[in-house]
């Protein structure tokens, strides 16, 4: 007797559902893809009990005639493709013909649909994949699908669902991603009869503000690049607004939401030192590529894609992201910090308003601050001072208004603000820690330590890579005795220390003579700097995965930079700022901390109730 038997369709559908329908959010994704493929311009999503009790999707798409409506819940029945060759030119989100039969087999499933040509719609009701009712129904053009009691007949799967909060968040993220990818569609969402949002505007920036808070879009970097092989458009977030999660990274390939490790890693590497450890940048990117060059039929969930030439895609993608990041002003505004809570087919992209601010813009803003006329000149307690410092004994009261009033005193002083004959902007030092500069649009505040770190780091990287002379000989060599672990680290980085500018000679057991040091090392600190560098290098090696020279450059810049509390002359302050803006990435230190914060006159006016 044969031991192999064909599984009944109801059993096969339940097995398939295990791959396609993993949780309520999976149902929402599959149904939304169908609505979009049907040409809907309005979509409403309603859920109850985080999708466990009810998921309802209402669209105004083309609808279905009776024959199509009955077939749509049959396995491998689809209107999206007719042959295997169609997989090379997919222009739809759905194509497998598995979603609806899988969903209906594990729920109480109801479908209502009407085409424009019919006056009466059709209602089909299924229980566990079995047709239980067919009837006519009144309704508007389009399709409404209601999924009740998900996994009612698969108790093991229902038991493994997470808390309502977790399942709700997964659903919300799916709907949000589609709302951002398809701004031409009007979206509405309800949870337990409460309206969460209603999006009518086709402007992506406005939708970002709805999801992430007012003025969130002001912290976006817009990019656009296209060639015959690949097109890239979208937005990247500035480092000041990053969070320690990757939920807010959206990659769409031919407007299909995908997960791709290569793309995610390329973005992370492009940001580099602008991110603190484990931070993830905000990403909303649309990639267009010939469908024949990708495979979306990797997994039933259709979230994974494979490129026919992944290396080629990365070689085009990474430089675009890197260049966009380097060309923009990454100094955070105080207000922005508050939000840290085709043949081949021509794929359309949402309208992306153009906006760009470059490193040069802020530097010009700083230089032009010397010629900016004051709004309301008045006397100031520092009237005769060209440079002054705020010290701890002049403690400020808590609150933005008090800080702003002190900062504004020099800014609005008619003697302190330079006249057009003076080409040098004025700079002040606050608590021997921060540099305050008037810029054309307000104030720029610079952390002197991390600013110097950035300058020294890039200089160290360039010196080691180019192998240029960078050593100044000491008149009197300095002796340093290493502990065993220090000497092990010294041996590991000895060659690169020499490239950096340390001229070192072995002198007995674990003893080294320092005969020359890099030109930036302050006289009298040679021994301390070397020992501190080795300690910092070892600490970085144990916590971070850094390339050896990068680790050395970070350790050198951190230990050799101007410290907080060090008083600077006017010339030293000006030199530091000029050198900072000459670096490739002046807005963050090598460890990802911000270097510059801006405070605009508009923000100050709001603080003082002028607006």
> Is 204-337 in the same CATH topology as 9-199?
no
* Cα distance between residue 171 and residue 52, in whole Å: 11
pTM equals 0.59
374-433 pLDDT tens trace: 444 333 333 333 333 334 334 444 444 444 444 444 443 333 444 444 557 789 999 999
Query: Regarding the domain delimited by 204-337, which CATH topology (the fold level of the hierarchy) does it fall under?
Result: Ribosomal Protein S5; domain 2 (3.30.230)
Alpha helices, DSSP H, located in 510-547:
526-543
**Domain map of the chain by residue range?**
9-199, 204-337, 408-611
Other beta carbons less than 10 A from residue 545's beta carbon? 8
**Could you count the other beta carbons within 10 Å of the beta carbon of residue 368?**
13
Distance CA 147, CA 105 (A): 11
| Superfamily holding 408-611 | MutL, C-terminal domain, dimerisation subdomain (3.30.1540.20)
What 3 state SS string does 365-387 have? HHHHHHHCCCCCCECCCCCCCCC
Tell me the three-class secondary structure of 158-215, residue by residue. Answer: HHCCCCHHHHHHHHHHHHHHHHHHCCCCEEEEEECCEEEEEECCCCHHHHHHHHHCCC
Quote the pLDDT of residue 212: 85
Q: Is there a contact between 45 and 194 (Cβ–Cβ < 8 Å)?
A: no
Strand duo 121-127 + 108-114: pairing:
antiparallel
- Listed in sequence order, the residues at least 6 apart from 605 whose beta carbon sits closer than 8 Å to its beta carbon are 611
Q: Are 380 and 413 in contact (CB under 8 A)?
A: yes
Q: Where are the alpha helices (DSSP H) in 182-308?
A: 204-212, 261-271
- CATH number of the structural domain 9-199: 3.30.565.10
What is the residue-wise DSSP string for 255-275?
Answer: TEEEB-HHHHHHHHHHHGGGS
What are the CA-CA distances from residue 588 to residues 28, 215, 329, 593 (Å)?
Answer: 40, 22, 11, 5
Residue position matching structure tokens 């240029």:
468
Q: Which residues of the chain have pLDDT under 50?
A: 18, 80-82, 86-87, 95, 244, 336-357, 373-421
């Amino acid at each position: 007797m044969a031991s192999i038997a064909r599984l009944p369709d109801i059993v096969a559908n339940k097995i398939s559902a295990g791959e396609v329908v993993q949780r309520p959010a999976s149902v929402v994704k599959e149904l939304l893809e169908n609505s979009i493929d049907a040409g809907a311009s309005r979509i409403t999503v309603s859920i109850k009990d985080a999708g466990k009790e009810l998921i309802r999707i209402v669209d105004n798409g083309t609808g279905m005639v009776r024959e199509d409506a009955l077939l749509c819940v049959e396995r491998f029945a689809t209107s999206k493709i007719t042959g295997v060759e169609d997989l090379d030119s997919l222009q739809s989100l759905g194509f497998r013909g598995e979603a609806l039969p899988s969903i209906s087999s594990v729920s109480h499933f109801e479908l209502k649909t009407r085409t424009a040509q019919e006056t009466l719609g059709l209602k089909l009701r299924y229980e566990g994949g079995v047709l239980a009712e067919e009837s006519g129904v009144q309704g508007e053009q389009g399709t409404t699908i209601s999924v009740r009691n998900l996994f009612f007949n698969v108790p093991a799967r229902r038991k493994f669902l997470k808390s309502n909060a977790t399942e709700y968040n997964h659903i919300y993220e799916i709907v949000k991603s589609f709302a951002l990818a398809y701004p031409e569609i009007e979206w509405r969402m309800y949870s337990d009869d409460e309206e969460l949002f209603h999006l009518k505007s086709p402007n992506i920036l406005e939708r970002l503000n709805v999801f992430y808070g007012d003025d969130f879009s002001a912290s976006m970097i817009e990019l656009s690049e296209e060639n015959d092989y690949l097109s890239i458009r979208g937005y990247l977030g500035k480092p000041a607004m990053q969070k320690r999660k990757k939920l807010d990274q959206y990659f769409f390939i031919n407007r299909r939401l995908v997960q791709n490790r290569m793309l995610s890693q390329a973005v992370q590497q492009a940001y580099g030192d602008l991110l603190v450890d484990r931070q993830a940048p905000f990403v909303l990117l649309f990639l267009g590529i010939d469908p024949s060059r990708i495979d979306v039929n990797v997994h039933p969930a259709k979230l994974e894609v494979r490129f026919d030439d992944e290396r080629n895609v990365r070689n085009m993608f990474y430089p675009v992201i890197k260049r966009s990041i380097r060309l923009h002003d990454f100094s955070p505004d105080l207000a922005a910090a508050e939000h840290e809570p085709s043949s081949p087919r021509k794929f359309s992209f949402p309208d992306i308003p153009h906006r760009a601010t470059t490193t040069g813009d802020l530097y010009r803003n700083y230089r032009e601050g010397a010629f900016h006329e004051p709004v309301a000149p008045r006397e100031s307690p520092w009237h005769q001072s060209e440079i002054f410092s705020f010290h701890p004994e002049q403690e400020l009261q808590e609150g933005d208004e008090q800080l702003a009033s002190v900062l504004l005193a020099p800014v609005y002083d008619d003697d302190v603000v330079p006249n057009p004959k003076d080409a040098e902007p004025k700079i002040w030092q606050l608590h021997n820690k921060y540099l305050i500069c008037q810029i054309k649009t307000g104030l720029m505040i610079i952390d002197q330590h991390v600013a110097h770190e950035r300058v020294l780091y890039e200089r160290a990287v360039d010196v080691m890579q180019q192998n240029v002379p960078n050593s100044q000989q000491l008149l009197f060599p300095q002796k340093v005795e290493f502990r065993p672990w220090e000497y092990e680290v010294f041996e590991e980085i000895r060659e690169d220390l020499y490239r950096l500018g340390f001229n070192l000679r072995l002198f007995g057991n674990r003893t080294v003579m320092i005969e020359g040091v890099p030109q930036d090392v302050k006289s009298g600190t040679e021994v301390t700097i070397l020992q501190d560098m080795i300690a910092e290098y070892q600490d970085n090696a144990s916590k971070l995965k850094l390339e050896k020279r990068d680790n050395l450059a970070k350790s050198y810049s951190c230990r050799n930079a101007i410290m907080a509390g060090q008083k600077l002359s006017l010339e030293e302050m000006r030199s530091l700022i000029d050198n900072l803006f000459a670096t490739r990435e002046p807005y963050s230190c090598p460890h990802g901390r911000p270097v510059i914060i801006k405070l605009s006159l508009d923000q100050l006016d709001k603080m003082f109730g002028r607006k």
